[in-house]
Amino acid sequence: MDSLKNCKPADWETGFESKQSAESLMPYKEYTGLIEKSDNDQRQYRLIRLPNNLVALCVQDTEAKEAAASLSVNVGSNANPAEFQGLAHFLEHMLFLGTEKYPKEGEFDEYLANNSGRSNAYTSFTETNYYFSIFNGALENALDRFAQFFISPLFNADCVDRELKAVDSEYKGTLQADNWRTFQLTARTSDPAHPYSGFSVGNTETLKGAAEKLGLDLREELIKFYQKYYSADIMRLTVVGNHSLDVLTEWVASKFSGIASKGNTKPTFEGHPIGKAQLGKLIHYKTVCEKYTLGLQFSLPELKSIYREKPLTYLSTLLDSTEEGSIFSVLRKNGWATAINGSPSNMYNEGFGIYEIDIDATPEGLDNYEAILSIVFGYLKMLAESGPQEWFYQELSLINKAKFDFKDKENAE
C-alpha cells in the first residue's frame, strides 16, 4: 500500500487507453492507472470515459444480491434562475416521467417494482443525483431505461401540475423541520448576490406563480434549463452488479454514449456567500422543537483541491473530542452543553467553503453563550498559535488507513 502515497487522482485526460466494447464495438477509454481500494475489498473496478466525455465506474461484485446504478449531474440549485427558484429540484421530479423510447409514464418505476427494485433522486447545491437498485438479472434493461432519461426525456405536460404539487408538498414538509429552517436561514442571510442565498426547494409560488407573472410557460423554461446544463461532460455514472466488467462496460458504453455532449456546462460564479458584509453577525431564532443550539459558521476557500490532505478532518477530530482539555470537557463541567460537532457544510462546494461548529446547549448554556464563544475562540486561537502537530496528523492517518483497509462491505445501493 506504500505505492498509494504518490498516487494522483485521474485527471480524465492522461492514463486512459482507447478500447472498444466486445459486442457492439462501441469506443471508450479505460483508465490504466491504479484504482485505490481497501485490501478487504474483493470487488473489481474499471474506470472508463465515453466519447461524449461521460465518466463511468463499473464495479463487479460477484456476491452482490442486487445491482445498482447512480448518475450524478454536476449542477444543482446553484444554477436556479433568479426568477425560478427551485427549478433544478423541479427538473429532478419531472425527468422520470417517460422518454421517446419508453413513452409510458411510470414505465421505469413499474419495471423496477416488477424486479424487486426502487429508485430515488435528490438535488443539492452543486449536484443532482439519480439512482436505483434492482434484481441483478434485470440490470441491463433497467440501464437502458435509465439512460433514456438523459437522452430524450418527454417532460410530459400533463404531469406538470401534479409534480408541482409534489414539490410544494416537500416544501411544506420542511416548514416545521428545524434542520431545514436553519439551512434556509443560513442561505437567506448570506450574500444576496451569490446563488447560495437562493431558495433551493421551490414551491408553487416560485415556479408556476413566477411563470404566470412573467407570461412564460414553466415547462418550456424547464426544458431550456435541461438543454443548457444536462451535458454528458459533467455527468458521472457508477454501475454495480454481479456481471463481469466486460459486460458492464458493454452496457454502459452502448446505452450512455447517446447522451449529448455540450461541453463543460457546470455553473460558475464569483465571490463567497459569507463575505465581509456577512461576517461578525449574531442571529437569534426560535426553533420548532424544544432545543438549544449555538452554531458558528466560518468562511473558507474551496476545499475540493485539498481533499487528500484532509485538514478539516484534523480540525474536526480536535473540536469533537471529549477528552480532558477539550472544548466539550469544559462545557460539560459547567453544565452548558450535551454535544459538539465541527464539520464542513459541504466538501464539494464550487469556489468556496464553509465550516460549521454546532453545539447542543443546555438552557443554562444558552444563557451563557458569550462565555461559550470565548472558550471556542480561545481554543481555536491556541490551535492556530501552536500550528499543526505532525505526530497527531500521522496518528490520524494511520487510524483512517486502518478504517479504509478493513472497511466493512456495503450494499450496492
Q: Which residues are catalytic?
A: 92
Residues ≥6 apart with Cβ < 8 Å to 391? none
- Strands 337-344, 16-20: pairing is unpaired
The answer to whether 108 touches 388, Cβ cutoff 8 Å, is no
Residue 39, number of CB atoms within 10 A of its CB:
10
- Grid coordinates representing 409 are 462491505
The answer to whether 363 and 335 have CB atoms below 8 angstroms apart is no
Helices (H), 122-278: 139-148, 160-174, 178-188, 204, 210-214, 218-229, 245-256
Nearest Cα to 143, choosing from 153, 132, 154?
132
Spell out the long-range contacts of 97-100 with Cβ–Cβ below 8 A and sequence spacing 24 or more.
97/153, 97/154, 97/155, 97/156, 97/159, 97/163, 98/153, 98/154, 98/156, 99/145, 99/148, 99/149, 99/151, 99/152, 99/153, 99/154, 100/148, 100/151, 100/152, 100/154
Three-point CA angle 83, 88, 89, nearest 5°: 115
The helix/strand/coil state of 197 is helix
Distance in angstroms (rounded) separating the CA atoms of residues 188 and 209? 21
What grid cell was written down for 226?
435541461
Separation of alpha carbons 148 and 99, rounded Å: 6
